Copies of this chain bind each other. A is one copy, B any other.
Amino acid sequence: MRCEVIAVGTELLLGQIVDTNSSWIGEQLALAGVDSHFQTKVGDNVERIASVLRIALDRSDAVIVCGGLGPTHDDVTREAIAEVMGVGLVRDASVVARIEAMFSARGRRMPDNNLRQADIPEGAAAIDHPQPGTAPGLVCPIAWPGGGEGDEGASGPGGAGERTVDKVVYAVPGVPHEMRAIVEQVIVPDLRRRAGDTSVILSRTLRTWGESESGLAERLAERIRQLDEIGNPTLAFLASGVEGLKVRVTAKGPDEASCKEVLGHEELVLRALLGDLVFGVDDETMEIAVGALLDANRLSLGLAESVTGGLVGARLTAAPGASAWFRGSIVSYASEVKFDLLDVPEGPVVTAEAAEAMAAGARRVLDADVGLSVTGVAGPAAQDGEEPGTVYVGLALGDQVESVRLRLPGDRERVRQFACISALDVLRHRLSGSSRGGHLGERTKA
């Protein structure tokens, strides 16, 4: 089964938006065992979209077209697919109903040209996708001349008597979260069914924080050699910036149970090699891991943030259920707020003493069991004689108040993001009873 990706949008060609959708779709296809040999970007132009669709159908079994399904005059993917199918557009009542329902749910009037989105190619089916946006996805079956790759000259839907092959064109919105929902939950399963692929592919991702990619590679070198011989499962490193490094394990087997057994065993092997560098599995973010530890220890958390400006609180409250253990955060950006509200001693505020006073103050003011604080310099300018990238994390837990000094890399935003996850990692290690401190810097005990 060969499936291509066509990303539609003049802004992609002009470099105003980087096409990350095709890359993400390519990764999903690879994980599903579907070959993807070509990816094409084309502008908002009916003739050009139709021409690349014909080229793709000549050499592949399926095509995913991403973008150009919106309501505006330059959204012409529907028209291009209809032209290649050799059919017209028909208004789909169920899509009309869904679009109208969504607008009324938002208490908004539906502009008339939104109805363009309900005009779909004759013979196509709208995808009633899980995360409905105004643009529905489309599944467009098409009988295509010839046998695929190598059939130059093939350039239209099958006429009477002509030998044709059943192929399919999918259309998805360019909005990433809508696109992802449709591809994951509808298109990939449909492609595997069409491919008659009964084997199951499952992967599990271990999230790590506190070690470089080469460091991880060294720890896992011997295991990687072993797996190269065994062949199943396979390992891949995914660098994820401020989210740390991920180790993805992919297993192939006759059924889910056997894949899960392989994944479960491999997770144990890897955890033995990586220890507490592993903070989560799959979608378990650092904030979810920290929340689970607080929950398990029946501890409530109060924050005092300065350089992060609220990022730590924002991350902790991203997950449902945070209200069980998160009290709140004092974002003391102005020094006077630190002095007046948190009883930080007047003076420089990028110090171990300030971080510890902030942690203790947050615990007191927010009536929490644990106080966690972040103060530092994101840049571009230095502050209190400290260079950008210098961050202190304070922790008030039990009768201990301590702090960690971190040196963080990158520009202002990266320093803020690193400070955020690093502070949470400090709390994670303390709650999990680990002896390790912040991974990026040396601990300075109060």
Binding site for B on A (CB under 8 A): 10-20, 22-28, 30, 36-45, 48, 51-52, 55, 59, 70-74, 102, 105-108, 111, 113-114, 131, 152-153, 155, 174-175, 177, 203, 205, 212-215, 217-218, 224, 236-239, 241, 248, 250, 300, 303, 305, 308-314, 316-318, 320, 322-323, 326-334, 336-337, 340-341, 365-367, 379-381, 407, 409, 411-414, 416, 440-442
List 14 additional A-B contacts (Cβ < 8 Å) besides A11-B248, A13-B37, A107-B407: A16-B27, A16-B248, A17-B23, A17-B238, A39-B40, A107-B440, A108-B212, A303-B331, A305-B310, A308-B314, A327-B336, A328-B331, A329-B331, A329-B333
Q: Tell me whether B366 and A337 are in contact (CB under 8 A).
A: yes
Q: Which residue of B lies closest to A103 (CB)?
A: B212
Min Cβ gap A78→B in Å is: 15
Contact A331 B313 (CB under 8 A): yes
Judging by beta carbons under 8 Å apart, are A72 and B15 in contact? no
Return 21 A-B CB contacts under 8 Å, by A number: A10-B236, A14-B27, A14-B250, A16-B27, A16-B203, A18-B18, A18-B20, A18-B23, A22-B41, A40-B41, A74-B237, A105-B409, A108-B440, A300-B334, A305-B310, A308-B314, A308-B317, A310-B313, A317-B416, A337-B366, A341-B365
B-side contacts of A28, CB under 8 Å: 15
Distance A51 CA – B215 CA, assembled complex (angstroms)? 31
Contact between B318 and A416, CB atoms less than 8 A apart:
yes
- The residue in chain B whose Cβ has the minimal distance to the Cβ of A41 is B39
Give CA–CA (A236, B16) in the complex, Å. 10
Known contacts A18-B20, A217-B113, A341-B365: A409-B331 contact under CB 8 Å = no
Closest to A365 in B: B341
Complex: how many Å from CA A23 to CA B11? 9
Contact B318–A328 (Cβ < 8 Å): no
Of the residues B10, B217, B328, B440, contact of A106 by C-beta under 8 Å: B440
Tell me if B334 and A73 are in contact (CB < 8 A). Answer: no
- Alpha-carbon separation in the docked complex, A175 to B24 (Å): 21
Q: Nearest-CB distance from A392 to chain B (Å)?
A: 15
> Across the interface, do B320 and A309 meet the contact criterion of CB distance under 8 Å?
no
**Smallest CB gap from A14: residue in B:** B30
Q: Hey, which chain B residues are within 8 Å of A106, CB to CB?
A: 407, 409, 440
Decide: A310 and B336 in contact? CB cutoff 8 A. no
Q: A24-B15, A309-B314, A440-B106 are in contact. Are A334 and B341 (CB under 8 A)?
A: no
Q: In the docked arrangement, what's the CA distance between A238 and B44, Å?
A: 12
Q: Give the docked Cα–Cα distance between A328 and B330 (Å).
A: 8
Instruction: Give Cα A313 to B315, complex, Å.
Output: 12
CB distance from A319 to the nearest CB of B (A): 9
Q: Is the CB of A74 within 8 A of B313?
A: no
The answer to whether B13 touches A72 (Cβ under 8 A) is no
Q: How far is the CB of A306 from chain B (nearest CB, A)?
A: 9
Q: Which of B13, B36, B73, B237 contacts A39 (CB 8 A)?
A: B13
Q: Is B313's CB under 8 angstroms from A340's CB?
A: no
Please tell me if the beta carbons of B40 and A48 are within 8 angstroms of each other in the complex.
Answer: no
Interface pair A320/B412, CB less than 8 Å apart: yes
Q: Which residue in B51, B177, B236, B309 is a CB contact (below 8 Å) of A74?
A: B236
What's the nearest-Cβ distance from chain B to residue A181, in Å?
Answer: 10
With A15-B25, A38-B40 already in contact, the answer to whether A327 and B334 are too (CB < 8 A) is yes
Known contacts A152-B155, A333-B328; A238 and B16 CB within 8 A of each other: yes
CA distance A43 to B317 in the complex (A): 37
Chain B residues closer than 8 Å to A111, beta-carbon distance: 212, 214-215, 217-218
Contact indicator B313/A317 (Cβ below 8 Å): no
Q: Say how far A393's CB is from chain B's closest CB, in angstroms.
A: 16
- CB within 8 A of A55: which of B55, B365, B412, B440? B55
Chain B, residue nearest A36 (CB):
B13
Residue from A28, A43, A337 with most neighbouring chain B CB atoms (10 Å): A337
CB contact between A114 and one of B27, B30, B214 (< 8 Å): that residue: B214
Q: Is B40 in contact with A238, judged by CB distance below 8 angstroms?
A: no
Given A18-B20, A38-B40, A367 contacting B416 (CB threshold 8 A): no
